[in-house]
Amino acid sequence: MATPSATSTAIEHILGLARKERAAATRAIGAMTLDQQVALVCDTPLSRRAETLELLPAPETVIPLIPEAELCFSVKAIGIEDAAWVLDHATPEQVVACVDLDGWRGTTADRAAIDRWLDALAMTEPENFLRSIRALDPELVVLFLKHRIQCFQKPDDDEAWQPPEGSQTVEGQFYFVAAREGDDLEPVSKMLHALFVADYWVYFRMMQGIIHELDIVNEEWALRWRTGRLEDLGFPPWDRAMDIYHFIRRDDRTAISDEATSLDVGEWHLPVWMPSLPASADHQHLLFRTLAQLDESERRSALYAFISLANKVAVADRMELSDAESTPIAIDKAADFASVGLEFISTELGLDAKEVLRRVTLQRLFTVGANLEPGRAYPRDVENS
- The secondary structure of 60-120, three-state, reads HHHHHHCCHHHHHHHHHHHCHHHCHHHHCCCCHHHHHHHHHHHCEECCEECHHHHHHHHHH
Structural domains counted in the chain: 3
Query: CB of 42 within 8 A of CB of 35?
Result: no
> Which residues, 6 or more positions from 21, have their beta carbon under 8 angstroms from its beta carbon?
none
* DSSP 8-state class, residue 252: G
Q: Are residues 99 and 224 in the same domain?
A: yes
Q: Which one of 13, 45, 62 terminates a domain?
A: 62
Rounded Cα gap, residues 155 and 252, in angstroms: 70
State the pLDDT at residue 1. 39
Q: Is 112 exposed, middle or buried (0-12, 13-18, 19+ CB in 10 A)?
A: exposed
Answer with the one of 41, 62, 83 that is the final residue of a domain. Answer: 62
224 and 239 part of one domain:
no
Rounded to whole angstroms, how far apart are CA atoms 126 and 172? 22
Q: How far apart are CA 81 and CA 97, in angstroms?
A: 17
How far apart are alpha carbons 187 and 340 in whole angstroms? Answer: 52
- Give the per-residue pLDDT at 3: 46
Buried b (16+ CB within 10 A) or exposed e, 68-98: bbbbbbbbbbbebeebbebbbbbbeebbbbb
Burial zone of 260 (CB within 10 Å; 0-12 exposed, 13-18 middle, 19+ buried): middle
Same domain, 334 and 268: yes
Same domain assignment for residues 180 and 248: no
Rounded distance, CA 173 to CA 154, Å? Answer: 5
- 165 secondary structure, DSSP code: T
239 and 225 housed in the same domain? no
pLDDT of residue 46: 92
Q: How many residues does the chain have?
A: 385
Residues 262 and 372 placed together within one structural domain of the fold: yes
Per-10-residue mean pLDDT, the chain, length 385: 59 87 91 92 92 95 96 96 96 97 94 94 92 94 94 88 92 93 88 90 93 95 96 94 96 90 85 82 88 90 94 96 94 96 97 94 97 91 48
User: Do 3 and 40 fall into the same domain?
Assistant: yes
Q: Which residues of 186-198 are buried (b: 16+ CB within 10 A; e: fewer)?
A: ebbebbbebbbee
Provide CB contacts within 8 A for 199, sequence distance 6+: 134
> At 174, which helix (H) or strand (E)?
strand 174-178
CB 146 within 8 A of CB 210: yes
Which of residues 231, 255, 280 is at a domain's end?
Answer: 231
Residues 22 and 29: their CA atoms lie apart, in Å, by 11
Quote the pLDDT of residue 157: 81
Same domain, 272 and 369: yes
Tell me the residue range of the domain where 184 lies.
Answer: 67-231
* Together in a domain, 88 and 211: yes
CA 269 to chain centre: 12
Output the pTM of the full model.
0.89
Q: Same domain, yes or no, for 309 and 218?
A: no
- Closest Cα partner for 231 from 306, 311, 302, 329? 311
How far is it, in rounded angstroms, from Cα 45 to Cα 359?
37
CB contact at 8 A, 113 and 178: no
Query: Same structural domain for residues 26 and 166?
Result: no
Rounded Cα distance, 177 and 194, in Å: 18
Reduced to 3 states (helix: H, G, I; strand: E, B; else coil), residue 156 is coil
Q: 110 and 24, same structural domain? A: no
Could you give the CA distance from residue 323 to residue 309 in angstroms, rounded to a whole number? 18
